[in-house]
Structure 1
Amino acid sequence: MTLPPALRGTPYPYRRNSLNLFRLILAALVLFAHSWYIAGQGTGPLIQGENLGGWAVAGFFVLSGFLITRSRLRTTPGDYLLHRVARIYPAFVVVLVVTAFVFAPIALFLEQGSLDGFLTTPVTPFQYVWGNITLYIDHYDIGATLQTVPYPGAWNGSLWTLFYEFVCYIVIWVLGFAAIFRRSPVVVATLWVASVALWAFGSVPQRAGLDVSFDLLLRLLPFFLAGSLMYFVIERAGVNRLLGLAALAVAVAVIALVPRWGGQAAAPLLAYGLLSLSTWVPQPAWVARNDVSYGFYIYAWPVQQLTVLVGGAALGMPVYILVTIVVTFALAWLSWIAIERPAMLAVRPRDGDRLRPIPAEPPGDIQRA
C-alpha cells in the first residue's frame, strides 16, 4: 500500500538532529522537578502521581534505546561495551569523588563550622565512593553532612538510574548476538510487550521473591525497549513530522488516561514523537558540538543541595532554580571538556574498519520512502 505523500517517512538524519538539545531539556526538567522537594516546597507538578523528573527519565530511556541499538548494530561487541563504559563511567566516578571530597567537606563546614569527623564518621567519603563504584547506589549520605536541609542525607538522588541504564545496555548487547534481532523488529517488540505486561502486574517481582531493584528495572526497561523498537521501525519506514505529532498526542492521552502502565504502553509513540521533533526543531550550534546533558544530570542534585545550604532557596523558587541551572551548566561543561569528550575520543575507532554495516533488509519488508 502506497502512503499519501504527507505521511511518507524520510531517513532519520543521524548527523543533523537536535538530540543533544532534547537530552539537555530533559536533564533540566529533572533539575526542575527535584527542586521542589530539595528546597522543601512539596513535590512540584505531577502527572499520574509521577513528578516531571520521572517522565524526563522516561524520555532519556526511549532516546537512549534508539541510539544504543544503532550503536550495537554498527560496532563489534567489544567496541560496543568499550564505548558504553567510556560514555558513562569516567564522569560517574569523577562526580562520586568530587561529591565526597569537595562538596561534602564544604557542606560539613557550612553546617557545623569545622571538618571534625569528616574522614571517620560513617558513611565516610571513601565508603561513599567505594560503595557506589559499581553504578548501583548503596550510599546516598556522607557522614554528618546534609543534616540541616529539607531533604537530609541525600547527596545525589539522580544517580540510581545509571545502573538500570547500563543493564539495558547489556540487554541490547546480548540481543545483538542473535541474527534474528539484527534482521527483524519482532524480537524487541515481543520483549517490549512482555516488559509492559510484567510492569502492569506489579506483584510479579514480589511473588517471585525479587527485590525492589527488579521492580525498578521493570519500570524503566519498557521505555528503553520502545526506543530500540523505534530504531527498527524508523530504519525501515523513516520518520514523518505529522505522524510524529500525532504519536505525541496519543502518547500524552494514554499517559493521562491509563494509571501505572500508561507511560510504558505509550513508550513507542513517545519515542517516535520525540525523534520526529528532533529532525526539525533546531538546536544551537554550540549544543550540537557539546553534549553536556549527562554532566548536567549527574551534577544537578548536589548543586541543588549546596545552594539550599547557602540560603539560595530563601530567595524564592524562580531564583533558586535559575541559580542551580547556571552552576550546574558550568560543571556539566567542565565535565564534558575535561572527562567525557576525552574518554569518548580515546576509544573512538581511527578508521571505518571497525564499523559493522547494518544487514540489508530482505525484499518484502516495509519500504523506505
Structure 2
Amino acid sequence: MSPIATVSNGLARGRDNFLSLRHILAGCVLVSHAFFVFRGADVREPLLDETGLDLGQHAVNLFFALSGFLVVQSLERRGVKAYARARALRLLPGLVMATLFTAFVIGPIVTSLPLGAYLRDSATWRFLVDIVPRFNGHATLPGVFEDQPANEAMITIWTIKYEIACYALLAIGGFALLRRRPAIVLAACALGFALMSLPSRIVLPDAVHSFARLGMCFAFGVGAWLYRRQMPLDGRFVIGGVLLSLALARTTFGLPVMILAECYGALWLAFLPTAWPGGALSIVGSEMAGGPGLVKAPLALLAGADFSYGIYLYGFPLEQAIFQFLQPSSPWLLIVQVLPVVLIVALGSWLLVEKPALALKSRRAVGELPQSAPVAEGQTS
C-alpha cells in the first residue's frame, strides 16, 4: 500500500488550486446573496435549512480556513512588521475603492434623491465611516435601495473585522511562539469548537458565535500549515468527515464537526493535481501570454489574476442595482444578469487597485533582509 500523502507532499508539487477555490467561493457568496437581495431578511438562502448555514456562510468558512493556511506562511517568512503591511495592502485598498464606488458611482445612479441632496446628506458621508473602519454590513445610503426587500449596500464587509482580528491574534501570538508550541493553535481551534457545541439554551452574542466559527476555521488553516508534515491529504478522510457530520447532525457537535470537515475537504481539493474552472481564466492567461501579439497583451492581463476579492466586495451592491433596474423574475435570473458586470468590475479592481497595491509588498524597507520565495501563498497573501 502506498503511503498517504501529506500537506507537505501537496506543497512539493508546486501547483495548487487555491486561486480556483477562491473564485468558486466568491461565486458561492454571490449566488447566496442573490436570494437575500430578491426576498430580504425573511429569505431562506440555499443550504440553510439542510445544514444550519447558508451557502454564503459555508463559503466564508472556507475563505477563513484557506486564509489561515496562506497568511501564516507570510508571517513565517517576513516577520510581524512586513506581515502586517502585507495584510493591510491586501485588504484596505480594494475595500476603500469598493466603498467609494458604491457611495459615489452606484449611489448617485440609484438614489431616489436629487444628486445635490444626496451629496449633501450627512448619511452619505457617514456611510464611508460605517464601512471603514466600523465594517458595518448593515450600513445604508440615503435614498438607495430603500424600496427593495434588502436595504443594505455592502453587506459582505461584516466578515472583514473578524479577518483582521484573526490576523492580529496571529501576529500578537507570534509565529515564533507557535513554532515552539504549535499545539496552541489546536487549543484555539478546540475553543471555537467548544463554543459552537454549547447547548441551545446557552445563547451566545452573535459576535461571539461568529468569531468562534470563523476563528475556528482560521485556526484550522494555521494548524494545517504548522502540522503540514503530519497532516494527511486523502479523499477517504473527506468521506469520513461527511459521514461523521451526518452521524452527529442532530447533536450539538454536528455543526462544528461539519465545518471542520468542509475545511479539510477544501484543503484536500486545493491540492488535487488538476486545474479547476474557477482559475481557468488565469491559467489560460498564463499559458498564452507568450502567444501572438494580438493575443498576448489582453491575455497577459489575466495571468495570475485574482478576481475573488472584487467579486466578494462588488457583488452585493451590483446585485442590488441590477435588481432595481432590471427587476428579474427570480434569484437565478439575477445571478445571470449580474455575473458579467461583476466580473468586469472585479477585473478592473484587480488591475487598477489590488495588483498595484500588492506590488508595494515587494518594496522592502531599508535594512530589511530579502525574503524567500512564497511556497503557496498566492495573491491573497
TM-score interval w.r.t. the shorter chain? Answer: 0.7 to 0.9
Give yes or no for the alignment of 1:103 onto 2:106: yes
Q: Which runs of 5+ in 1 are unaligned?
A: 359-369
Q: Is the 8 A contact 2:61 2:213 kept in 1?
A: no
Displacement of 1:39: 1.2
State how far apart, in whole Å, the 1-side matches of 2:312 and 2:26 are.
5
State how far apart, in whole Å, the 1-side matches of 2:91 and 2:25 are.
17
Q: Is the 8 A contact 2:80 2:171 kept in 1?
A: yes
- Secondary structure in 2 aligned to 1:164? helix
Give 4+ residue runs of structure 1 displaced > 4 Å after superposition. Answer: 202-207, 349-352
2:322 to 276, 296, 307: 307
Give yes or no for the alignment of 1:237 onto 2:230: yes
State how far apart, in whole Å, the 1-side matches of 2:31 and 2:72 are.
29
Change in CA separation of 1:271 and 1:133 when aligned onto 2, cut-off 3 Å: same
State how far apart, in whole Å, the 2-side matches of 1:69 and 1:157 are.
27
- Secondary structure in 2 aligned to 1:125? helix
- Name 1:366's counterpart in structure 2: none
Q: Is the 8 A contact 2:224 2:231 kept in 1?
A: no
- Identity in percent: 25
Alignment of 1:102-181 (within 5 A): 102-108=105-111, 111=112, 114-115=114-115, 117-121=117-121, 124-137=123-136, 140-151=139-150, 153-179=151-177, 181=178
> C-alpha deviations, 1:246-271, integer Å up to 9, x for none?
23323334444436653433444433
- Name 2:71's counterpart in structure 1: 68
State how far apart, in whole Å, the 2-side matches of 1:344 and 1:94 are.
15
Q: Is the 8 A contact 1:195 1:221 kept in 2?
A: yes
Change in CA separation of 1:14 and 1:289 when aligned onto 2, cut-off 3 Å: farther
- Secondary structure in 1 aligned to 2:152? coil
Q: TM-score, normalised by structure 2?
A: 0.81
Q: Is the 8 A contact 2:89 2:361 kept in 1?
A: yes
Give yes or no for the alignment of 1:223 onto 2:240: no
State how far apart, in whole Å, the 2-side matches of 1:14 and 1:353 are.
27
What amino acid does structure 2 have at the position aligned with 1:117? A
Q: Is the 8 A contact 1:91 1:339 kept in 2?
A: yes
Q: Is the 8 A contact 1:11 1:239 kept in 2?
A: no
What amino acid does structure 2 have at the position aligned with 1:306? A
Instruction: Give the number of equivalent residue pairs.
Output: 341
Q: TM-score, normalised by structure 1?
A: 0.83
Change in CA separation of 1:324 and 1:14 when aligned onto 2, cut-off 3 Å: farther
Q: Is the 8 A contact 1:64 1:227 kept in 2?
A: yes
> C-alpha deviations, 1:22-56, integer Å up to 9, x for none?
01100100111111121128323223232111101
1:338 to 352, 355, 367: 352
Displacement of 1:69: 1.3
Give yes or no for the alignment of 1:258 onto 2:249: yes
